């Protein structure tokens, strides 16, 4: 299959996200022993960017933790547009390793990730089967409990087939969409989410993406996104967080809540914020505020055990 220039630009967003994460980790924003395998170097980013990434990663972690608290390790995590996310390895180092961890991204991304895993013992030793083997089948990596699959999320038939090949089941599922859905056309994103809501009677979906893009600051973000291959049709990203949550309920999730990242940041414990604020001086407090109010985290769930997941739960 050949990729369009738009696809290439989208694929490159993973490099950018990985480098930003590596930069913030090096500066002490959070700990990640694995990110440096996936980004060989990272130029220093602006403090506002580092702070934004901290809130993003920390917020995802809070809800990942809440999910695991509620269903234990007999569950699955499905990482949509996983990029070079290191969550699998970070969880392996805790007591919270999950039953089945499935990662999906374009084959151009998963094949690179696969290559990096195979080259680095510290990554490989945490995924191999008891006999120390991993299996590569049709370019996808399969092992007991970890699957890395090349897949176009715009193609539902492929998503279905790939999830089945990785042993996805009706067990409680955590669905992650960190800065991914924005790269799908709204109708494709909706179809994907509707399918997932329909397939997993007990699940929690975390969506981190842009919001409130209807204003002037948002217009600049829209231009940047379009330069990165997004096809932004319709008012989806102009929506405020509450409307995004309503959108997820309309697609089949029973509960959905959303917060802009300013609210997320303010919900962090005082000592957390104080520690992070001491890491770097902010040149432009106003810029951070603008950025924070143009990103949102949505949590949508099905099943009673997840109904009380909340920012301050």
Q: Based on CB atoms, which residue is closest to ligand SAM, 32 or 262?
A: 32
Size of the site for ligand SAM (CB under 6 A): 21
Q: Does 14 bind ligand SAM (CB under 6 A)?
A: yes
Q: Does 39 bind ligand SAM (CB under 6 A)?
A: no
Q: Residue 212 CA to chain centroid, in angstroms?
A: 20
Are the C-beta atoms of 50 and 283 separated by less than 8 Å?
no
Q: Does 85 bind ligand SAM (CB under 6 A)?
A: yes
Q: How far is the CB of 257 from ligand SAM (least distance, A)?
A: 20
Which class for 116: exposed (0-12), middle (13-18), buried (19 or more C-beta within 10 A)? Answer: middle
**152 annotated ligand-binding residue:** yes
The two tokens of residue 250 are 């309309």
Q: Based on CB atoms, which residue is closest to ligand SAM, 184 or 309?
A: 184
Q: Residue 178 CA to chain centroid, in angstroms?
A: 2
**239 annotated ligand-binding residue:** no
Q: Does 109 bind ligand SAM (CB under 6 A)?
A: yes
Rounded to a whole number, what is the largest CA-CA distance in the chain? 57
Q: Does 232 bind ligand SAM (CB under 6 A)?
A: no
Where do the DSSP E strands lie in the chain? 76-80, 100-105, 135-137, 140-143, 146-150, 173-178, 203-210, 255-260, 295-302
The two tokens of residue 127 are 């995924």
Are the C-beta atoms of 151 and 141 separated by less than 8 Å?
no
Work out the number of other CB atoms within 10 angstroms of the CB of residue 202. Answer: 17
> Which residues between 176 and 195 bind ligand SAM (CB under 6 A)?
178-180, 183-184
Q: Does 105 bind ligand SAM (CB under 6 A)?
A: yes
Which spans of this chain sit near ligand SAM (rule: CB under 6 A)? 10-11, 13-14, 17, 81-83, 85, 105-106, 109, 151-154, 178-180, 183-184
Positions at the binding site: 56, 81, 152-153, 178
Positions at the binding site for S-adenosyl-L-methionine: 56, 81, 152-153, 178
């Amino acid at each position: 299959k050949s990729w369009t220039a738009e696809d290439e630009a989208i694929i490159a967003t993973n490099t950018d996200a990985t480098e930003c994460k590596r930069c913030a980790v090096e500066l002490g924003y959070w700990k990640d022993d694995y990110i440096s395998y996936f980004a060989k170097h990272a130029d220093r980013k602006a403090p506002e960017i580092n702070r934004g990434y901290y809130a993003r990663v920390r917020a995802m972690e809070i809800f990942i933790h809440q999910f695991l608290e509620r269903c234990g390790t007999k569950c699955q995590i499905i990482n949509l547009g996983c990029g070079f996310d290191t969550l699998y390895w970070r969880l392996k180092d805790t007591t919270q390793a999950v039953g089945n961890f499935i990662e999906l991204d374009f084959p151009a991304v998963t094949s690179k990730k696969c290559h990096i895993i195979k080259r680095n013992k510290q990554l490989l030793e945490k995924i191999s089967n008891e006999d120390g083997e991993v299996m590569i089948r049709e370019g996808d990596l399969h092992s007991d409990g970890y699957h890395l699959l090349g897949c176009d999320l715009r193609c539902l038939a492929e998503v279905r087939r790939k999830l089945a090949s990785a042993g996805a089941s009706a067990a409680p599922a955590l669905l992650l969409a960190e800065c991914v859905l924005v790269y799908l056309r709204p109708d494709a994103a909706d179809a994907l989410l509707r399918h997932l809501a329909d397939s997993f009677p007990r699940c929690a979906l975390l969506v981190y993406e842009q919001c409130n893009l209807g204003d002037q600051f948002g217009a600049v973000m829209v231009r940047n996104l379009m330069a990165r291959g997004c096809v932004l049709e319709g008012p989806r990203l102009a929506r405020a967080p509450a409307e995004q949550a309503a959108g997820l309920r309309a697609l089949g999730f029973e509960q959905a809540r959303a917060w802009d990242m300013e609210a997320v940041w303010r919900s962090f414990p005082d000592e957390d914020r104080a520690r992070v604020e001491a890491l770097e001086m902010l040149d432009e407090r106003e810029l951070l505020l603008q950025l924070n109010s143009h990103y949102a985290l949505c949590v949508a769930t099905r099943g009673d055990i997840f109904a009380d997941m909340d920012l301050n739960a």
